[in-house]
Amino acid sequence: MHRDIKPANVMVDLAGQAKVADFGLARLDGVAEEPGNTLTGAVLGTPDYMAPEQKHGTPVDHRADIYSVGVMLYENALPRDPAGAPSSCPRSAPVATTRIDTIVLKAMHQAPDRRYQSTQEMRGRRGQAR
């Protein structure tokens, strides 16, 4: 888990491939925290990109990073603050489409079990927001 996915931590190389940077808050699933590392349960990250469970200091898994990617997609489609995002993207935005709505809403679902369960699922099976 990266735990701080945000635009400043995503770089694009010359081939147009996105690369994640800054692994200062990263943690491997199932690996116990060691002294000197970030603490499980501590609220760390950039608030505007944090999943609800991360903001509340409850245990997080890779789905918190999927939430953060959803926030970045939301911002990319609609350049405004996603906090308190509406139930669907406003139709007045020219790049907002039903497909983007569906992807973003599922990625940003408040309940981790209702989000995409993997980035492969998010990329391949665009799923329905519930």
Question: What residues act catalytically?
Answer: 4
Angstrom CA distances, 112 to 1, 37, 77, stand at 14, 25, 22
Please tell me the distance from the alpha carbon of residue 21 to that of residue 63, in angstroms, as a whole number.
18
Q: How many H helices and E strands in the chain?
A: 4, 2
CB neighbours (10 Å) of residue 37? 12
User: Is the distance from CB of 49 to CB of 64 less than 8 angstroms?
Assistant: no
